């Protein structure tokens, strides 16, 4: 009798640190069924908390009382202005380099702010919290100055009376948002605020672990978030839908045909799949539901994008068994708000700055430099002289 050949053991693919636990955090838990910020589940937060409250939760470490959140919002309103030199530098970059990506401009703006922050070099916990609050308040202003310059108009002054979400929209568009639009933006910021050791947050922690300053860690995180495989996915998802809409206009091609062609060409379809959420990103349906409310107010011009997105989503699920992530409905929702696509990822920064700063502070509080090992796969040792 022949012995049964032993089954080969499949070696897990750990590239990109897939499936590897690299540290502890009290800030966020991500698993297949839940996303939790400091003990509060994301659906609960999206339904019952404002982004301002979530920002306080992440940065300060506990749910704010009514008095605490009132003081936090008052303080934030007073921190939103940026120095004239930073404003002028942003405008100059846009004028001299119109193709510069808004994420690069935002990164430059934050770097400039560091030079003007008297506490830049201090990693004292109280100083880091103050710097975090300043960055949270000032980022929407930088984004607004950038967008105004891209449109050739004067930037508006930040409004201290508005929520973080409403002020962000005001700075970008120069128009005060209605209640629904502000609420939808607020929910999107809540959903994007934190996500444990994702690429940009891990980059921030690696940088912070060298005991450098907070601004340097945030600039590094922005560089990581800019990539289309991370924060830039919402931009690319909307650009993909615009391509589909153009190619299928007037019945020239069906969505089904477009998708089959994309599959055949092995085109990367953005806004789908997630390293952790194999059975679907539970943030996606939350944002989709709010986006549909916004689209309903716009009529057919808004609804058509969600209908197109639903068609693409159904084909992806049927043919590839891949679910959308939160970037997919986000791209459509921001487009329905009239936000220019290049500003989608900077908006992500206006939210995730809370998670980044919380992680940088947590890293500094119990620090050891992050320095993993690598498995060498190069040639064997050989002599230099022949």
CATH 3.40.50.720 assigned to 28-227+344-365: no
Per-residue pLDDT tens digits for 53-90: 999 999 999 999 999 999 999 999 999 999 999 999 99
pLDDT band, very low/low/confident/very high, at 344 (cuts 50, 70, 90): very high
Highest mean pLDDT among 8-22, 52-66, 226-240: 52-66
Judged against a pLDDT cut of 90, whether residue 169 lies above it is answered with yes
Residues ≥6 apart with Cβ < 8 Å to 313: 324, 328
Summarize the confidence of residues 314-340 as an average pLDDT. Answer: 92
The whole-number pLDDT of residue 20 equals 72
**Residue 22 burial class via C-beta count within 10 angstroms: exposed 0-12, middle 13-18, buried 19 and up:** exposed
Q: Which residue has the higher pLDDT, 281 or 335?
A: 335
pLDDT band, very low/low/confident/very high, at 22 (cuts 50, 70, 90): confident
Is 274 among the residues known to form the active site? yes
Cβ(89)–Cβ(109) below 8 Å? yes
Per-residue pLDDT tens digits for 269-285: 888 877 677 777 889 99
Which segment of 5-14, 213-222, 263-272, 276-285 scores lowest on mean pLDDT? 5-14
φ/ψ of 336, rounded to 5, equals -65, -25
The whole-number pLDDT of residue 11 equals 62
Summarize the confidence of residues 181-203 as an average pLDDT. Answer: 96
The whole-number pLDDT of residue 15 equals 76
Domain ranges of the chain: 28-227+344-365, 233-336
What average pLDDT does the chain have? 93
CA distance linking residue 241 with residue 230, whole number of Å: 18
Q: How many Å separate Cα 290 from the centre of its chain?
A: 18
**Parallel/antiparallel/unpaired status of strands 35-37 and 40-41:** antiparallel
Residues ≥6 apart with Cβ < 8 Å to 89: 108, 109, 112
Judged against a pLDDT cut of 70, whether residue 3 lies above it is answered with no
CA distance linking residue 303 with residue 296, whole number of Å: 6
Q: Which CATH code, of 3.30.70.260, 1.10.230.10, 1.10.8.80, 3.50.50.60, is assigned to 233-336?
A: 1.10.230.10
Summarize the confidence of residues 33-59 as an average pLDDT. Answer: 96
pLDDT band, very low/low/confident/very high, at 1 (cuts 50, 70, 90): very low
User: What percentage of the chain reaches a pLDDT higher than 90?
Assistant: 79
Residues ≥6 apart with Cβ < 8 Å to 345: 102, 103, 225, 226, 231, 232, 234, 235
The whole-number pLDDT of residue 244 equals 94
Q: Which residue has the higher pLDDT, 190 or 324?
A: 190
Closest CA to 283 of 158, 189, 166: 189
Q: How many Å separate Cα 352 from the centre of its chain?
A: 6
Task: Choose, from 196, 281, 327, 364, the residue flagged as catalytic.
Answer: 327
Sign of CA dihedral 311, 314, 318, 323: positive
Judged against a pLDDT cut of 90, whether residue 371 lies above it is answered with yes
| Torsion angle defined by CA atoms of residues 77, 45, 289 and 168, in that order, rounded to the nearest 10 degrees | 10
Q: Tell me whether domains 28-227+344-365 and 233-336 share a fold.
A: no
Is 327 among the residues known to form the active site? yes
The whole-number pLDDT of residue 10 equals 67
Cβ(352)–Cβ(200) below 8 Å? yes
Per-residue pLDDT tens digits for 112-156: 999 999 999 999 999 999 999 999 999 999 999 999 999 999 999
**Parallel/antiparallel/unpaired status of strands 28-30 and 35-37:** antiparallel
Give this prediction's pTM.
Answer: 0.92
Is 230 among the residues known to form the active site? yes
The whole-number pLDDT of residue 155 equals 97
Q: Which residue has the higher pLDDT, 4 or 369?
A: 369
Cβ(194)–Cβ(358) below 8 Å? yes
Sign of CA dihedral 333, 337, 341, 344: negative
Task: Choose, from 274, 282, 359, 364, the residue flagged as catalytic.
Answer: 274
**Residue 138 burial class via C-beta count within 10 angstroms: exposed 0-12, middle 13-18, buried 19 and up:** buried
């Amino acid at each position: 009798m022949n012995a049964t050949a032993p089954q080969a053991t499949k070696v897990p693919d750990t590239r990109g640190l897939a499936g590897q636990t690299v540290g502890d955090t009290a800030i966020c838990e991500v698993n297949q069924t839940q996303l939790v910020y400091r003990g509060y589940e994301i659906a609960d937060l999206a339904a019952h908390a404002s982004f301002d409250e979530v920002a306080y939760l992440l940065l300060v470490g506990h749910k704010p009382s009514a008095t605490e959140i009132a003081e936090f919002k008052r303080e934030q309103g007073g921190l939103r202005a940026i120095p004239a030199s930073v404003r002028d530098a942003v405008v100059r970059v846009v004028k001299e380099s119109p193709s510069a990506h808004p994420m690069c401009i935002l990164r430059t703006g934050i770097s400039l702010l560091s030079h003007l922050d008297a506490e830049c070099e201090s990693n004292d916990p109280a100083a880091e919290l103050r710097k975090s609050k300043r960055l949270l308040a000032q980022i929407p202003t930088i984004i607004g100055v950038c967008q105004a310059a891209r449109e050739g108009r004067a930037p508006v002054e930040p409004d201290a009376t508005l929520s973080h979400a409403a002020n962000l929209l005001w700075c970008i568009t120069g128009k005060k948002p209605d209640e629904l639009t502000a609420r939808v933006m607020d929910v999107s910021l809540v959903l994007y605020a934190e996500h444990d050791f994702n690429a940009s947050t891990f980059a921030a922690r690696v940088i912070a672990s060298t005991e450098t300053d907070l601004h340097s860690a945030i600039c590094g995180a922005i560089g990581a978030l800019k990539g289309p495989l991370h924060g830039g996915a919402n931009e690319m998802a909307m650009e993909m839908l615009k391509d589909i809409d153009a190619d299928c206009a007037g019945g020239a091609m069906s969505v089904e045909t477009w998708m089959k062609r994309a599959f055949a060409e092995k085109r990367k379809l953005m806004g789908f799949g997630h390293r952790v959420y194999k059975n679907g990103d539970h943030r996606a349906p939350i944002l989709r539901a709010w986006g549909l409310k916004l689209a309903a107010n716009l009529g057919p011009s808004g609804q058509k994008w969600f209908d197109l997105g639903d068609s693409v989503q159904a084909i992806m699920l049927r043919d590839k068994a891949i679910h959308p992530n939160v970037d997919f409905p986000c791209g459509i929702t921001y487009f329905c708000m009239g936000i220019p696509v290049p500003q989608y990822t900077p908006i992500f920064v206006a939210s995730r700055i809370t998670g980044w700063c919380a992680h940088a502070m947590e890293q500094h509080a119990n620090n050891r430099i992050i320095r993993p090992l690598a498995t060498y796969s190069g040639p064997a040792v050989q002599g230099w002289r022949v």
